[in-house]
Amino acid sequence: MAVSDSDFTFDAAPDLPASLVQDQLDLGSESIHIAQKLLQLTSDVIAIYDLAHEHLICQNHSLALLLGYTNTDHIDEKIILHVVLHPDDISIFAGHLEQMKFAGDEEIGEITYRLQHANGLWRLFSVRTMIYKRHADGSVEQVLMVARDITEQHESAARLQADNALKLAQLEQAAEKIANEREKMQALSHFVGRTGHELRTPLTIITTSLYLLKKMNDPLKQAERLQIVENQVAQLSRLISQMHILMKLDSIHQPITPVTLSLNTLLTKLEQDMASAIARKELIFELDFADDLPAIQGDLELVVIALRNVLENAILYSDSGTIRAQTTSRNNQVILSVTDTGIGIQPEDLAHIFERFYKVETDKKNARVAAGLGLAIVKCIMELHGGSITAESEFGRGSVFTLVWPL
Ligand code: ADP
């Protein structure tokens, strides 16, 4: 029976939709009419394709409408394959049809492919295919295809996915920040705990000494005690200032704002500042400068602290011999090496001396209040400048500390 409803035209084989409706559903003419209306109403594309002849037998108008053509336009298999189907999807489409030749009666094949709208933009379709008719020998003759435009659905899913990915990245960033803060808090609480411990011993010595002083009558013993208190106070104030520097360094989150500095000039000034400490020992202090040493970029206060710590250590851990501060430039770097002929450092200690609160065993017994923070401070400062500090040492013979600044 031919379908004559003017709103529902099957251009290629006008009698097939009716047969489709009748054959499959065994409906009366009233029901056929309803089925035709339903096919007309649906925005999905419904079509029957002849697999053997590679020919689109019939379809409703949805494809034409969805692709921006008037409902009288006829989009046949040639136009689909050679004009509107995305070139990259031709093989997907062909493969799908080929697969359907071997499908079971109840099997539903599914693919998605892109078709070009009349406005030039690509639309994404999801297609479900089922066997409609077989030849007498059982081979597949025709398939029924239902295609749905899922462009918006796909785009909003992609947008949602992108939104989710963005939110996830933001949350990951926030979580990382919180973890970093937590780590910093833990480090700070460890630091505060350690500093409390480091301060306790000298404070006890001071308190006890003050108590004893009140009871002492011998002026010589009093002088001795006073000297102890004086030393402890001096070292305590050094310790507190070191803790202060380290906490300040820890709170620097932005790169430092550097100024141009001459390392040779700074070292010359420091040598003058330390003249009395050097003179108290049998030490020779040598400055060996490269004349054409390029200036470094750095924070004046921090660079002076780093230089002072390394030079003071060299003086402190050497009783006699020579301390040499040598500057050179090589491979776009300015290098300072401070060599001493002091007590040296055991290899097992050398690996740890840049760690916070690390003190070598002999130093712990020393009356000097040393928290093992000086070199940790230097390391921190050098890293803030994009540079480094390393140490080499031979126990009993001396040490070399090398500081490198990038140019
Ligand atoms: P502190 O701030 O307590 O002086 P540092 O961090 O400066 O500690 O040094 C850590 C340890 O490294 C010291 O306890 C000391 O034993 C050792 N050290 C540092 N410099 C020298 C040096 N030039 N010669 C020998 N030992 C050194």
Residue-wise pLDDT tens for the chain (407 aa)? 333 333 333 344 344 455 555 555 556 677 777 877 888 888 899 999 999 888 888 888 888 889 998 765 667 888 888 889 999 999 999 999 999 999 999 999 999 999 999 999 999 999 999 999 999 999 999 999 999 999 999 999 999 999 999 999 999 999 898 888 888 888 888 888 888 888 888 889 999 999 999 888 888 989 999 998 998 888 888 888 888 898 888 887 777 889 999 999 999 999 999 999 898 888 999 999 998 999 999 999 999 999 999 999 999 999 889 999 999 999 999 999 999 999 999 999 999 999 988 888 776 545 555 678 999 999 999 999 999 999 999 999 999 999 999 99
How far is the C-alpha of 231 from the C-alpha of 164, rounded, in Å? 62
Amino acid at 3: V
Report how far residue 392's alpha carbon sits from residue 400's, in angstroms, rounded to the nearest whole number.
5
Cβ neighbour number for residue 231 with a 10 Å cutoff: 16
Q: Whose CA is nearest to atom 25 of ligand 1?
A: 344
Nearest to 51 by CA among 115, 99, 87, 89: 99
Contacts of 70 (CB under 8 A, 6+ apart): 64
Tokens encoding 286: 């040598």
Q: How far is the CA of 177 from the centre of ligand 1 (A)?
A: 34
**320 bridge partner residues:** 282
For residue 279, the CA-to-ligand 1 centroid distance in Å is 20
Q: What is the DSSP letter of 386?
A: T
Helix (H) or strand (E) holding 176: helix 151-215
CA-nearest residue, atom 2 of ligand 1: 374
Would you say 388 and 382 are in contact if contact means Cβ atoms under 8 Å apart? yes
Locate 2 and state its tokens: 């031919």
Could you tell me where the beta strands, DSSP code E, fall in 232-319?
A: 259-261, 282-288, 296-298
Q: Is 261 in the pocket of ligand 1 (CB under 6 A)?
A: no
Report the pLDDT value the prediction gives residue 404, as an integer from 0 to 100: 98
Is 338:266 a contact under the CB 8 Å cutoff?
no
Question: How many residues does this entry show for the chain?
Answer: 407
How far apart are the C-alpha atoms of 201 and 367, rounded to whole Å? 11
pLDDT at residue 24, as a whole number: 53
What pLDDT sits at residue 94? 92
Among 236, 238, 359, which is best to mutate for testing ligand 1, by the most ligand atoms less than 8 A from CB?
Answer: 359
Residue 363 C-alpha to ligand 1 middle, in angstroms? 8
What is the residue-wise DSSP string for 331-383?
TTEEEEEEEE-SS---HHHHTTTTSTT---HHHHTSSS---S-HHHHHHHHHH
Mapped onto helix, strand or coil, the DSSP state of residue 70 is: coil
- Backbone φ and ψ of 238, nearest 5°: -65, -45
pLDDT value at position 321? 93
Cβ atoms 210, 177 nearer than 8 A:
no
Tell me the whole-structure pTM to 2 decimals. 0.60
Quote the pLDDT of residue 157.
92
Closest to 205 measured CA to CA, from 360, 358, 369: 369
- Closest listed residue to residue 202, CA positions, set 179, 158, 233: 233
Q: Where does residue 4 fall: left (phi above 0), alpha (psi -120 to 50 degrees), or beta otherwise?
A: alpha
Picking from 299, 249, 254, 246, the residue whose alpha carbon sits closest to that of residue 405 is 299
Residue 398's φ and ψ, nearest 5 degrees, are 140, 175
Instruction: State which H helix or E strand residue 147 sits in.
Output: strand 140-149
Whether the CB of 392 sits within 6 Å of ligand 1: no
Give, for ligand 1, the residue of 345, 357, 380 to mutate: max count of ligand atoms closer than 8 Å to Cβ: 345
Tokens, residue 46: 């419904």
User: Is the beta carbon of 399 within 6 A of some atom in ligand 1?
Assistant: yes
Would you state the pLDDT for residue 5? 37
Maximum CA extent, the chain:
133
Distance (Å) from CA 211 to ligand 1 centroid: 32
| 43 contact partners, CB below 8 Å, separation of at least 6 | 62, 65, 66, 148, 149
Cα-only R_g, the chain: 44
Closest CA to 340 of 262, 282, 260, 263: 282
312 lines ligand 1 (CB under 6 A): no
The three-class DSSP label of residue 393 is: strand
Cβ of 373 below 6 Å from ligand 1? yes
